[in-house]
Amino acid sequence: MHGMTRPLVYTVAGWTGFFVMAIELLSGRTLAPDFGNSIYVWGATITVFMLALSVGYLAGGYLSVNNPSLRRLGAVLLLISIATIPVIVLGEPALGWIFDNVPDPRYGSLLASMTLFFLPTAIAGTVAPYAIRLLATDTRVSGRSAGLLYFVSTFGSAAGTLATSFYLVLWFELNDIFIGLIGITAVLGLAAILAPREAIDAP
């Protein structure tokens, strides 16, 4: 791998962990004006995020076997950014429509969370298995690479949780935080796309 490629892959994995936990926490704030902040809402939200990540992990594993490249990983980040934009643009009218048409707050919050957050979270879930495949070019170190990547990703998740709940929601408006997350994700995606081309040999 090129000298800067491996750190960039780890950076992408860490940021994706940060991103997922940030939008999961923000999803509760997004749904609260219409559906409240009850255990039903958080149960629905956590369910959607776990399902989305499981689908993303599965898809990422399948995608990683077909000529994996850093540029394609960058394209995945751009897709995450694009898939998150509707949260800002369509979030308020979508939540209003669901609230008016689904009387049970349990299923209303489940549908609302699914509508706004399933797709970006599922796409984000593809990053970890895809990144592991990029790093695992040598079977002798593939386990170590996978362990380090999961460490970085989980550390990013912890950082996203603390940064969002302790600071970001106090300093910025909700949509401003989403815009920042989208922007940073897009910049990392472009950095990966523009990085030197690498040939990834099968282990």
Q: Which CATH number belongs to the domain containing residue 69 in this structure?
A: 1.20.1250.20
Is residue 157 situated within a structural domain? yes
Is residue 202 situated within a structural domain? no
Is residue 199 situated within a structural domain? no
Q: What range does the domain containing 53 cover?
A: 5-193
Distances, alpha carbon 148 to alpha carbons 13, 43, 128, 142, in Å: 10, 30, 11, 10
Q: Whole-structure pTM over 0.85, yes or no?
A: yes
Is residue 200 situated within a structural domain? no
Is residue 90 situated within a structural domain? yes
* 20: confidence class by pLDDT, cuts 50, 70, 90: very high
pLDDT tens column, 116-157: 999 999 999 999 999 888 887 655 546 677 788 888 888 899
Percent above pLDDT 90 for the chain:
57
Number of domains within the chain: 1
